[in-house]
Amino acid sequence: MSGGSVRPATLLAGQNVLHPHSPAEHSITVLWWVMLGGAWIGLTLVAVLLVLGWVRRNRDALPFGGGERAATRLVVGLGIVTPILVLTGLFLWSDIFVIRSTAAPARGSTALTVQVTGHQWFWEIRYPGMKAVTANELHIPVDTRVNVVGTTADVIHSLWVPELNRKIDLIPGRTNSVLLYADRVGTYPGQCAEFCGLQHAHMELLVVAEPRARFEQWLHGESGSARPGTGAEAQRGQQLFLTEGCADCHQIRGTSAQGQVGPDLTHVASRTTLAGATIPNDRTDLTAWLRDPQRAKPGNKMPELPLSSRDIAALVSYLEELK
């Protein structure tokens, strides 16, 4: 391997299903706590009965009297009637409150639609009606119902943002939808929740919820074409990008680079992360990533190009201007 290193540790933390920031996830969390509480009550009851049975194992009567008839009533009541009532209640609760609140949004019920496509191993994100294309960072306006329509370009993936809603499977040739709604400004980590290959664990996603005005500004900027490199170093980097194989896999709108294998890099410098949200988007990590992409993410489809340190520095200077 060539020199340099990329920090492979994940940048994401706080994927907490019990820390809801949307009505949909709140309903899931409440159901989870109810089921946990019921499970503890049931376990406690069973434990108490076992202890009583052990203590009175040499006596003919149960502690509350009644003999065999009381024992039969106890078995029927706690072993048959109670489970039926509890499970029926949980089923109705799930159907009426949880499934309906977390279901895919009805047509016309959302203010924004976003298309997400799973790849091995990154997320491609598009905003229909706009030219904006980004990767691994899904921006949405806060307090807004967003319809996320997902599919996959290769194998089965599963999109899950634990603090906002349930997961959805992304299946080849089909689309699936989920409602995302964030009740406060913040960054919410997500994950591929279906094993999809070697780097499944490093296929992560950031959902950035921001005020409407800031989101509109971001979306407008992402929809524009890339600006030409400024300065001799960046211009040389742009030329290298177009001639040394990068353009065969990546697209940069406004240039001749029209590759569709890897992420769109038109505004790559505006992202906070790289490589499926596993490394920070700074000069050090970007340089190490270009030098040896397999070191940080073994099995990814980006090859190690025969570039000198000077060439890599020029490429980094160009990519850092793509904001």
The DSSP code sequence of 162-193 is TTT---EEE-TT--EEEEE--SSSEEEEEEE-
What's the pLDDT score for residue 138?
Answer: 95
Give the pLDDT band of residue 313 (cuts 50, 70, 90): very high
Give the pLDDT band of residue 125 (cuts 50, 70, 90): very high
List for the chain the helix, strand, coil content (%; round to 5): 40, 20, 40
The pTM is what? 0.80
The amino acid occupying position 107 is R
Q: Is the pLDDT reported for residue 43 higher than 50?
A: yes
What does the block give as tokens for 321?
A: 């201007």
Helix (H, G, I), strand (E, B) or coil at 23: helix
Per-residue pLDDT tens over the stretch 48-95: 777 776 766 655 555 555 566 766 777 777 777 877 888 888 788 777
Report percent pLDDT > 90 for the chain: 40
Q: Is the pLDDT reported for residue 7 higher than 50?
A: no
Distance CA 273, CA 268 (A): 9
Give the distance from CA 300 to its chain's centroid: 19
Distance CA 194, CA 203 (A): 10
Per-residue pLDDT tens over the stretch 275-306: 888 889 999 999 989 988 888 788 888 888 88
Distance CA 294, CA 279 (A): 13
Distance CA 134, CA 124 (A): 6
State the average pLDDT for the chain: 84
Of 24, 262, 270, the closest CA to residue 147 belongs to 24
Distance CA 214, CA 107 (A): 26
Q: Is the pLDDT reported for residue 150 higher than 80?
A: yes
Per-residue pLDDT tens over the stretch 185-211: 999 999 999 999 988 988 999 999 999
Tell which wins on pLDDT, 90 or 123.
Answer: 123
Of 130, 132, 127, 137, the closest CA to residue 161 belongs to 137
In 186-265, the DSSP E strands lie at 186-192, 204-210
What's the pLDDT score for residue 83?
Answer: 79
